[in-house]
Amino acid sequence: MELRRNPTRAVRVGSCTIGGGHPIAVQSMTATHTQDIDATVAQVLDLEKAGADVIRIAVDSPKDAAALKEIRSQVKANLSVDLQENYRLAEQVAPYVDKIRYNPGHLYHHERSKPWQEKVAYIAQVAKDHDCALRVGVNCGSVDPAKKVDDYGGDENGPLLASAFEHCEYLDSIGFTRYVVSIKDSDPKNVIEVNKRFALQRPDIPLHLGVTEAGLPPDGIIKTRIAFEQLISQGIGDTIRVSLTVPNNRKHEEIEAGRKILADIAAGRVRSFVDFGLDTLNIISCPSCSRVENEAFIDLAQQVKEMTAYAKDHKITIAVMGCRVNGPGETDDADLGLWCGPNHVNLKKGPVELGHFKYDEILPRLKQELDLVIAEKSGQAL
């Protein structure tokens, strides 16, 4: 079956073209320490062998940027980077990559008094000078702080969409059209909704699809599959990433899972339901990347899943994140959140911090809090 596709612009990323009727590109991200050049090169090659069209590398510092230069000289893959708070790193990374991702919600942390438009104009100029595409990467865990749900009549997805539209309009207004957009959420239902709404209003812009913090396989693959099936079978989506919490030597599973989902959709092997049972226990965990502060994070995510299985019939979300960059913000909306530091795991209940605990102490503490949440949600006293 030939997939019907939205008639988007074509956006070239190195040797790969996203949108414009080109095959849906499959992406992944390295999770090695970027400054460990040998390990990062090996992982890029492994992902490329698995069929990755574009590979993202985390760059947080000038030292990472210097490592990127060396990595670039050793691989031919189409590379992309993610600018976190320091948007000025764009200049240091652009010569070595084909695409730069910026998050509108992160532009407020650095040089606070400068309007975001000036920062975007700078990033776009750097991209233009170095033959790079851009991705406007909006994420539910780090939305533009000026956009409140109440300003959108209580529409939970209003701020995400408004942020995406605003940046597209601005980039168009300055004549930079070589960009794709992603709007990610950890809830597949929201991913389906926001991307459908975005595509309805801007069918011309290529969309990068993903369920952020989808978690451990197989659940992470199932959540992602449900979102992708609903979108791609309606012509929405030009590039995808399946974000999985897997150890470094299994990162290629993200590409394999993505390719399998695309092949199944093309063959009409689509599940008939949309509901992923989010009325049950939902464990979300980040896919891990070079920012992971302790490798024990991957095992911890698995242990959390096993330990909490007894609560499977309760509508509770537990988030497990690998670092302090995105961990604190992206656990705010979960009933219980854990974000991992080098020696301790920080425990949160919604946005409230409950303290930090050693890796071998966190599970019993989490269980205590989980029992409390179950009792609160069922209206019982413990």
For the CA atoms of the chain, what is the radius of gyration? 20
Residue whose entry in the numeric block shows the structure tokens 């992708």? 228
Answer for which of 289, 319, 320, 345 binds ligand SF4 (CB under 6 A) is 289
Report if residue 183 touches ligand SF4, rule: CB under 6 A. Answer: no
- What long-range pairs does 378-382 form, CB within 8 A, spacing at least 24? 378/314
Report if residue 211 touches ligand SF4, rule: CB under 6 A. Answer: no
Nearer to ligand SF4, 157 or 186 (CB): 186
Answer for which of 158, 159, 287, 337 binds ligand SF4 (CB under 6 A) is 287
132 among annotated binding-site residues: no
Closest approach of ligand SF4 to the CB of residue 187, in Å: 17
Name the percent of the chain in helix, strand, coil, to the closest 5: 40, 20, 40
Residue whose entry in the numeric block shows the structure tokens 């009409």? 268
Nearer to ligand SF4, 67 or 292 (CB): 292
Report if residue 89 touches ligand SF4, rule: CB under 6 A. Answer: no
Closest approach of ligand SF4 to the CB of residue 58, in Å: 7
List binders of ligand SF4 among 308-367 (CB under 6 A). Answer: 321-323, 325-327
Nearer to ligand SF4, 158 or 327 (CB): 327
List binders of ligand SF4 among 25-84 (CB under 6 A). Answer: none
Which whole-number Å values give the CA distances from 313 to 189, 309, 338, 349, 375, in the listed order?
A: 19, 9, 21, 19, 13
Closest approach of ligand SF4 to the CB of residue 242, in Å: 13
User: Residue 183: beta bridge partners?
Assistant: 138
Nearer to ligand SF4, 92 or 285 (CB): 285
Report if residue 215 touches ligand SF4, rule: CB under 6 A. Answer: no
Element (H, E) at 241: strand 239-241
306 among annotated binding-site residues: no
The stretch among 266-274, 284-292, 305-313, 352-360 that binds ligand SF4 (CB under 6 A) is 284-292
Nearer to ligand SF4, 220 or 322 (CB): 322
340 among annotated binding-site residues: no
User: Residue 285: beta bridge partners?
Assistant: 214, 320
135-151: string of b/e by CB count within 10 Å (b at 16+)?
A: bbbbbbbbbbeebeeee
Nearer to ligand SF4, 75 or 320 (CB): 320
At residue 135, φ and ψ (nearest 5 deg) are -120, 125
Give the burial class of 152: count Cβ atoms within 10 A of its Cβ; 0-12 exposed, 13-18 middle, 19 or more buried.
Answer: middle
Is-contact 330 213, C-beta < 8 A? yes
DSSP labels for 75-95?
--S-EEEEE-S-GGGHHHHGG
The stretch among 45-53, 130-138, 282-290, 342-350 that binds ligand SF4 (CB under 6 A) is 282-290
Answer for which of 47, 292, 320, 336 binds ligand SF4 (CB under 6 A) is 292
Annotated binding-site members for [4Fe-4S] cluster: 286, 289, 323, 330
Give contact residues for ligand SF4 (rule: CB under 6 A).
286-289, 291-292, 321-323, 325-327
